[in-house]
Chain A
């Protein structure tokens, strides 16, 4: 019983076209106005404040935003720079003039999105090479939950697995050292239960149990 209660859906699930409210409120993300009513445009969780209403999406692709911190993989070299897979609709570009050293194909990088055009194509800056490690692909809309409030969730996973983990806003997570298998397992749980409550407690319990067994 208590287990069941713990896993409640944290907020109301809404679908595209569903009327959220007829009151006047500020429009947040993923909502639109029709005949004075505020309507959801995506499948997601309703986030309602006194003066603002928005929908947290549950599914969807990554669309780059300026100043996003992302993780990418170099896919090819051009004479002016490199193309990077950033898990979005298009590949992104790094210009050679912004780099001190040449890069190799297949290298993992972390970067900041410096500019996005109207076609959602991104330019990257602050490129740092991530040596070794491996990359985990997760749904980009679940990233805020994987990071947690004030990095609480990701710090928890870091603490128990002793891995270096870098989370990109685009849904790519770079991991190196420590107990990577456990980290992946924990992140997968967060991803699949992102819409449920008391997630941090459950992940703590899970990690405690797993690390105890190993010892």
Chain B
């Protein structure tokens, strides 16, 4: 049994809501356990400064930021090493899903803000960003569904909480896939595991991503049911 009474292959309570910001072209709010995240998409729009524009494809600019009040101690508002890294890998994950060549010379700006956090914010943010991209009407191969898996106290668990991330033998593995092709677009790990354990976690992660995908799908379709 885990800290919050979940089964090993159970996600926390997740709620996606699409189209929450009227100023953005696309947006998504997600409550993933204690995590509260808003993702907003702007574009495709003109990329400035112009020398950065790629005349063959769009450029994805992903901004992951944590609010100062999102962690127990005040987080410095200055973007740190961690945030810049997450922004980079998440942008690369989304690039795999978007038909970039349809929007030459443009920028697709994705910005996600973490308001409250309790582990696995990068995967929650990435899943929300994929919904926001679809909501912005951008042509995509697939959504991106992400989930974290890992080892805590000798158990292989899906969707880790902070307490589990801090276990003495903890391994934390963030992964994202394109759910229809099962192509892995993000795979990051903390800790040391064997090959067998890794493939076991991968299998568990794929299952988790599919569960997240169902929720994303439901949220996107619900937007148009809700407006009635």
Contacts and interface: CB of A to CB of B under 8 A. Distances in A.
Given A57-B137, A119-B105, A17 B179 contact: yes
Interface of A: 7, 9, 13, 15-19, 30, 32, 34, 39, 41-43, 57-61, 89-90, 118-120, 141, 192-193, 195-196
Given A15-B143, A43-B220, A60 B180 contact: no
B196 to A, nearest CB: 30
B133 to A, nearest CB: 8
B136 A16 contact: no
Contacts, number: 82
B106 interface: yes
Given A15-B221, A19-B180, A89 B137 contact: no
Nearest to B228: A7
B38 interface: no
A70 B189 CA distance: 51
Interface of B: 25-26, 43-46, 55, 97, 99, 103-106, 134-143, 178-181, 217, 220-221, 224-225, 227-228
6 contacts: A15-B134, A17-B142, A58-B224, A61-B25, A141-B137, A195-B224
B45 to A, nearest CB: 6
B139 A41 contact: yes
Contacts of B97: 16-17
Contacts of A90: 46
A118 B104 contact: yes
Of all A-B residue pairs in the complex, the 7 with the closest CB atoms, nearest first, are A60-B137, A59-B137, A17-B142, A16-B140, A41-B139, A43-B134, A13-B221
A43 B132 CA distance: 11
Contacts of A32: 141
A151 B106 CA distance: 34
A61 B179 contact: no
Nearest to A192: B227
Contacts of B55: 119
Contacts of B140: 16-17, 41-42
B215 to A, nearest CB: 12
Per DSSP, are chain A's interface residues mostly helix, strand or loop, or mixed? loop
B41 to A, nearest CB: 10
Given A15-B143, A17-B179, A61-B25, 20 more contacts: A9-B225, A15-B217, A16-B134, A17-B140, A17-B141, A17-B142, A34-B141, A39-B180, A41-B99, A42-B134, A43-B220, A57-B137, A58-B137, A58-B224, A59-B25, A89-B46, A89-B106, A118-B104, A193-B227, A195-B224
Given A16-B134, A89-B106, A119-B104, A41 B141 contact: yes
Contacts of B178: 17
Contacts of A42: 134, 137-140
Contacts of A59: 25-26, 135-137
B135 A89 contact: no
Contacts of B103: 89, 120
B58 to A, nearest CB: 10
A32 B137 CA distance: 15
B135 A43 contact: yes
B56 to A, nearest CB: 10
Contact of A17 (B106, B143, B225): B143
Nearest to B142: A17
A13 B103 CA distance: 24
B209 to A, nearest CB: 13
Contacts of A120: 103-104
A16 B142 contact: yes
Nearest to B213: A17
Contacts of A196: 228
Nearest to B99: A41
Contacts of B228: 7, 9, 193, 196
Contacts of A7: 228
A96 to B, nearest CB: 24
Contacts of B181: 34
Nearest to A15: B220
